[in-house]
Amino acid sequence: MSLDAVSAAELIAWYAEMGVTEALDETPHDHFAAAPEPARQPVARPVAAAQPAARRPAAVAAATPPDEAALSARALAREATSLDELKTALASFEGCPLKATAKNLVFADGNPAGKVMIVGEAPGADEDRAGVPFVGRSGQLLDRMLAAIGLTRQEHVYIANLLPWRPPGNRTPTPQEVAICLPFIQRQIELVDPDILVCVGGPSAQGLLGVSGILASRGRWMEYDTGRRMIRAIATLHPAYLLRQPLQKRLAWRDLRTLKAALAAP
């Protein structure tokens, strides 16, 4: 099929809109058809299942069993005793379908010894290409926001995402994708053990803090249980949202001042 220049430009624009942002080859390949069956992951057995039925807590016995991928994620995450091990575990995990369409695993950036851990939603196209979180336009805004309160990712801040793989076309992750990846980011927070957790954007706040409605829940101190201790946590607006709604930067600025005051307090 040959196209005139206008139709070809329209077709390319439509592809870009649908999330097809990279030309890899002259002819299309169905990578899903070609891909081998994903390796089965070890499936964790809930601790309660190993107990005699009579001693099993009623809530656990009655709960709907989480699906196999989420159980497998939980088992792998729990086994990792360092960030390096966790990254290796994630790289070998085949339970999340986003891995098949992403170019790179986007694990983290910044200083794991910093006092603040920031968790965004999921990598975008730039992050997927670089394998590093928040390096695109919203990442540059995030760096400027942090610099405004004297923080840098090199020294003070560790950055990760709720999901370590890019959803195609930057679509919002499905609840199932979030449920599958959640044990990994929870373990990452536990291993980093920051003083303060900052969730940027609604999906991060909902996934980690259980709050919905980012405009209503932002700027309030909450508690997050790392698995070892309770830490302070706060939700704020996502820089990508601020790029679209610059007037809302005043709210983000309030949240940043709240964060700065907490860091300065003894």
Greatest alpha-carbon pair distance for the chain in Å reads 73
Q: What is the DSSP string of 34-89?
A: HSPPPPPPPPPPPGGGGS-GGGS-HHHHHSPPPPHHHHHHHHHHHH--SHHHHHHH
Tell me the per-residue interface mask from 157 to 186 with ligand URA, x by CB under 6 A, - otherwise. Answer: ----x-------------------------
Region of 2-10, 116-124, 225-233, 253-261 interacting with ligand URA (CB under 6 A)? 116-124
Nearest to 159 by CA among 126, 201, 189, 202: 189
Stretch that binds ligand URA, among 6-14, 82-90, 120-128, 242-250 (CB under 6 A): 120-128
Taking CB under 6 A as the rule, does residue 114 contact ligand URA? no
Our CA dihedral for 64, 70, 72, 73, rounded to 10 degrees, sits at -150
Q: Does 127 bind ligand URA (CB under 6 A)?
A: yes
Binding ligand URA (rule: CB under 6 A), the pick from 95, 97, 114, 124 is: 124
Q: Binding segment for ligand URA among 52-60, 94-102, 127-135, 214-222 (CB under 6 A)?
A: 127-135
Does 111 bind ligand URA (CB under 6 A)? Our answer is no
Interacting residues of 121 by C-beta distance below 8 A, sequence separation 6+: 161, 162, 163, 172, 173, 200, 201, 202, 203, 204, 238
Name residue, tokens 């920051």: 194
Residue closer to ligand URA, measured from CB, 139 or 207: 139
State the minimum distance, in angstroms, from the CB of residue 126 to ligand URA.
Answer: 7
Report the interface residues with ligand URA, using CB under 6 A. 120-124, 127, 133-134, 138-139, 161, 201, 240
